[in-house]
A = this chain, B = another copy of it.
Amino acid sequence: MKFEITQIGTIYSPYITKEECPIQGVTKPDGKGKIEIFPEYEEALETIETFSHIMLFYIFDRAGEIKLSRSTFLDDSPHGVFASRHPCRPNGIGISIVRLERKNKNILEVSEIDILDNTPLIDIKPYIPKFDIRDNANNGWVEPIKFHKKPENRE
């Protein structure tokens, strides 16, 4: 079955190239971004300013070739793309948790961003610790990984 998704806004960030973009927002909390929600959706933001953090859903519109299993920025071993956050995946949907700094009409200012500039936004949901924190979760194969610079020439 196929489904159609419509862009509802645009994500602006300081990251023009994949090399500049941090591996995850938590590794670069000062990265600031601006989210423009198209004016016809502004009403859907009502009471969003009560949250400190939100989840952005977007399209990996500059992703390369889709492979079902490949190595990631984090280590050299292959992982299935459903066992990693790799952007080149069957449905190229990304999710990022960002800090909501300010709301001004249909514009959200955020930090902790790890998204390429000019990325199509498709949904926003509030990050709700009561629902979204699993204190008993493990980090799987990511557990022993130390954060490092992205390997060169790796998609």
Contact = CB atoms under 8 A, between A and B. Distances in A.
Nearest to A84: B126
Contacts of A48: 80, 82-83, 140
A53 interface: yes
Give the residue among A6, A44, A78, A127 with the most B Cβ atoms within 10 A. Answer: A44
Interface string A69-113: 100000001111111110001110101010100000000000000
Main DSSP-derived SS at the A contact region: mixed
A15 interface: no
B129 A90 contact: no
A153 interface: no
A46 B141 CA distance: 11
